[in-house]
Each structure stands twice: as structure tokens, then as C-alpha cells.
Chain A
Amino acid sequence: MSVTAFLTDSTLCIGCKACEVACKEWNGVSEDGLDWSGFSYDNTGAVGASTWRHVKFVEQAPTPGLGGNAEQASWTFSSDVCKHCENAGCLEACPTGSIVRTEFGGVFIQPDICNGCGYCVASCPFGVVERNPKDGRAFKCTFCYDRQKVGLQPACAKACPTESIKFGEIDTLRAEASRRLEELHARGMEDAVVYDPAQTSVGGTHAMFIVRGDPRAYNLPPAPEVPTVYLKKGWRSSALAAGLLLTGTLLAFLTDGRNSR
């Protein structure tokens, strides 16, 4: 089995939300409600328990060659998804073993094992996993594990009309990303970057993004950390606390015993 990945190229995204719809239909994900965000044409906001693909509508200052040239705003769209980290915070934190790494390299929550403790929610550096309030369990993108099992590409990639969402073997896509970046730079889009935090403790992702400008405008964190990096310091402090508690209690009772008897 090859290790697979997504490459989401926001320079090709037209914001049609076909990926969101395809994901919801294939995976049977519930609706989000019809709420208006009131600040942009993005009324979904972020990925969550009932949104596994989410198209961000990034309004920016006008840039030549990037859609409209009006004074007010230009749009780029970027379809966000679970990053399927190489070192996944949710997977490490899960106390039930429900979250596993599949043979395709994706991170998968087994819904029949998840107990809804919510620890993965607080452990995801990208804010992807969410507990479904009605059901009590945690949900996120499955990387269409069922489809990949039978050799199909994920529903979102299949539905994408512009091939903004590319799916394939991870090394091929990494090469494709750098090739595409060169192409964009050659066309004058010098602010195009690949987002794949390989230098951080997350160690790279199975969902890479090509965006224009600073990835922070797309809510992509510049320094995501897998929370296991804090364990050493935490357990050291815990051992110190236990040692102090034991010696303190011993001292208190030993000196007291001497005085009162």
C-alpha cells in the first residue's frame, strides 16, 4: 500500500464547495445549521465535527492576477481539511486506542471505540477534531479510509472540478508541489508558498497546501507542535511534586512525633 496525501492548491480553488458537499454526502455527515457568519461569504467558519472539508474564503487586498481588481477585496479560496500529521497530537493523546494510523498514512478515528473523552480535541494543534455534542464522540476527516481501501480517491478530491484538491502518493505530491510552486513563481505569483510544517515537531502532514501570501491569513499556524513535546517537562515536574509531597509529609509527621511524645 502506498502512503497517500492531499495537495490542496488554493490558486486553483474556485470556492464552489463541491468538496464539502461530496464529503458530507459520502460520509453521511450531518448538516451544520443555516447560520450567517456576517463577516464574509464563508458561513461555516472552520472544520469541525460536522465539517470535514471546509472552504475558506480569504478576502485580501487586490493583487494583480488574483481575481478581481476592485479596490475593496480580492478572494482566494482554500479548502481546509484534517492535516493527517506525521506526529499526530490526537493519536498520541487518545486513551482508548481509537485513533490509529492507517496503512495509507492517514489518521483515523474508529467510531466504535471512541469514548468521547475529548482529550484529542484539546491536543490537536490545528483545531480539527471536535466532539459532536449530540453523539458525544469525536469526529474528523477519515481521509476516506473506506474509499482508499478499495482503491478509490477520497470523495472531496473526486468531486473537485478544478483539481485544486489533488490526491496521490505522498512523495509524488511533494514533487508536484515544488513543481507547481516554481510554475506559479514563474508566472509572477511570487508570494505563493507550500504549507507543510515538516520542520516542526509535527514532522510534516499528509495534507499539504499551496497558498498565496502568509499562511496565517488562512489560519495555518506557523509553529504547530505535537503536544507530546511537553510530556518530559510535565512528568519531571510531576516526579518532583511527588517527591516533595512525600518528603514534606514524612518530615511533618516525624518532627511532630518527636515533639508530642
Chain B
Amino acid sequence: MSDSVPIQGFEGEEVKRERRLEEIRREAEKHRQLQVVGTRPSGAPFPKASAESGYYGIPLLKQAPWTWEIPLYFFVGGAAGAAAVVGAVADYTGADRELVQHARWIAAAGAVISPALLISDLGRPERFLTMLRVFKPQSPMSVGVWTLLGFSTAATAAAFAGFLRSRYGASMPVRVLENAGQAASLAFGLPFSNYTGVLIGATAIPVWNRSVGDLPLHFAASGLGAAVGILELMGHRKNRALQALGLGAALFETWEGLRIEGRSHSHLHPLKHGASGWVTRAGGVLSGPVPTGLRLASLFTSRKRSECLRRWAAFASIAGSLATRFGWIAAGKTSAQDWQEPLRPADALTESGA
């Protein structure tokens, strides 16, 4: 058959379409498949799915659905746990009575606020109780909720007994309650101040699980900085032990910040870029270098000026601790949206030294 053969009754566009059919047939006979382009739908060419581009860049992982209550709980719990430790140790080493009781009040306040925040996140109070039907050591959240329960009981008991003792004198039952409560709040406060690091570290979210070795230490230092800050704002700005602890926490946070900045793994991207990066960095600066500088400066100034500097260091540490928790949660959300990270092959994942 030839292109030049006229077709009876066909003209113009119809002839062109008939010729196209002949073209398609020739193509199919020659190559066993068609190479030519047919219709182009509007919007073509479409993005292709591939090993490099994933499934159209749709995130593989899901974000943790946590709202503001959870990072705030991380902050409150961290500060309360560290305050309980500071209070108990201060008592055992014979520090002044007011400092001990103030630390207990902070711990007790945290012990009351923490479950309230969790219940607010869950939506209904009885939903909190379902966590108390099992204990699962392999679930950091289960371990955490039992730690919270023990800590809340102990910290409120210690604070209440301390209050009774200052008001009505030290009777035997009050002293027993106070000692037991304090010992237990020390024992529960130690894990309570940092378990949230394990909680987010043992998840599928890359920025969290790649940092699992750092997070508990980081969060413990953050909590200690906040607890010291709150105590200083309550008036303990002459206490040298608190100054030393605040300096220690700030130095650790400075080191932690430098560590994060010094590493360039792609999974740490949300800690350095975008909104979550800004919040994390602000948290790092406020809880690390700023209080370090202020506290060091306060060592070499007059008493009045020193107290003022320590007040500012306290503010910075508290704000820094708060920003750190919000920053890490936000970074986790950004990290879950990153479709590239979970699609990296196994050998590319193992080199990270979290």
C-alpha cells in the first residue's frame, strides 16, 4: 500500500488521520512496538517514580501526631525530675532547708502538670489509665508512664510532708513520709529527667533514632539547666552549688550544640535548617553559650551585679530548655516528611555515629 493512493470520499484532516493509521502499522511491523508519540495529555510529561525520586516524593513515614502538650511535657518533666534530684541531694548534704523545700515544690508542681499535659494530648482522662494496664519494658513510653506515676506520687508526698513539717513540726509519720518520698523521688527523678530522650530516640524517625545515644544526656542537661534556673528565680542566687550545676549544664549544652553543628549527616538536616532548625539552634544558644558566659562573668563581679547576671542566666536556661524540646519535636516532624532519608540503602545508614 502506498501513501499516494487517494482515498475515496476522504479529504483534508481525514486523510491525515488515515495516513497515521498506516504509519502506526508500519512502525509495529518494523519494531514490534510503537516508538511514536500518541496523544499528549495536558500536564504531560508526568513525574516518574524511580529509585532516586521515590514514589513522587510522597513521605514514606508518618509524623508523630503530637501537639504542643508533648514538648511542654518534656520540658516540665525534665525540670521536675532534675529538681527532685537537686532537692534530695541538697537535703542529704545538709544544704539550707528553704532550697530543699523549693526544689520539692518544683518537682511536685511538675508531677501534677505532667499527667495533665499528657491527658490533654490524649483527649480524655480515662485514656491515660489504659497505659496502667500493662508494663512493657520494651516500650519507652510504658516505662516512662510508670516512672511518671512513681515520680508523681513520691514528689508530691515529699513536698507535702515538707510542708507539714515546717508548719506543725516533725512528728514521726511526717518524717517517715518525707524521707520515703524524698528517697523515691530521687530514684524516680533520675530516669524521669532524661527518659524522654530514649522515648523519641527509639522510633522510626531518622533525626531522632540517629541521635538516640545523645538525646538522654542532652535532655538531662537541659532539664538540670531549667531546674537550676527556676530555683535561682525563686531567690537562690547566692548558692554556689547551684551556680556550679548551672555552669556544668550550660557547658554540656554548649558541647552538645557544637557536636550537632560539627556533624553534617543528612538526617541532622532538620536540626539546622528551616523553622525547626531555627528553634533548635535558638534553644542551643540559650541553654549553652549564653548562660555559660553569664555565669562565668558573674564569678568576677560584685555580689549585686553577680545576682543580676545569674538571673539572666536562669532566664536563658529556662527559655533554652523549652526551645530545645519544641525544636526537637519539630525536627522530628520535618524529618518524617523527608522521603529521601528512609529510602537510603542500608550501607549508607550504618556509618552514622549517633
Contact = CB atoms under 8 A, between A and B. Distances in A.
Interface of A: 37, 39-40, 42, 45-46, 48, 56, 58-61, 64, 69-73, 89, 92-98, 113-119, 121-131, 133, 136, 200, 213-214, 216-219, 221-225, 227-228, 230-231, 233-238, 240-242, 244-246, 248-257, 259-260
A234 B202 contact: yes
Contact of A230 (B47, B65, B190, B209): B209
Given A217-B55, A240-B217, A244-B217, A72 B49 contact: no
B9 interface: no
B56 interface: yes
B231 to A, nearest CB: 12
B49 A242 contact: no
B345 to A, nearest CB: 5
Contacts of A253: 89-90, 93, 95, 241
B202 A250 contact: no
26 contacts: A39-B46, A46-B59, A56-B49, A69-B34, A69-B35, A115-B130, A117-B122, A118-B64, A121-B63, A122-B63, A125-B61, A125-B342, A128-B62, A136-B123, A223-B349, A230-B201, A237-B216, A238-B197, A240-B216, A245-B85, A245-B193, A248-B224, A248-B245, A255-B241, A256-B241, A257-B95
Contacts of A127: 59-62, 204, 336, 342
Contact of B54 (A119, A216, A251): A216
A46 B65 contact: no
- Among A73, A98, A248, A250, max chain B CB count under 10 A is at A248
B19 interface: no
Contact of B139 (A61, A93, A252): A93
A26 B127 CA distance: 27
A60 B244 contact: no
Interface stretch (B109-117, B140-148, B177-185, B276-284): B140-148
A96 B133 contact: yes
A96 B146 CA distance: 12
Contacts of A95: 131, 134, 136, 139, 141-142, 144-145
B220 A136 contact: no
Given A127-B59, A234-B140, A257-B95, A217 B51 contact: yes
Contacts of A56: 49, 55
Contacts of B124: 136
B33 A69 contact: yes
Interface in B223-273: 224, 239-242, 244-245, 248
B55 A58 contact: yes
Contact of B45 (A42, A72, A233): A72
Nearest to A124: B204
A246 B244 contact: no
Given A97-B136, A246-B89, A237 B198 contact: yes
A20 to B, nearest CB: 16
Given A93-B139, A126-B60, 9 more contacts: A56-B49, A71-B35, A97-B133, A117-B122, A217-B54, A219-B58, A230-B203, A249-B85, A259-B240
Nearest to B126: A115
B46 A129 contact: no
Contacts of A216: 50-51, 54, 343
Contacts of A98: 130
Interface stretch (B36-44, B167-175, B305-313): B36-44
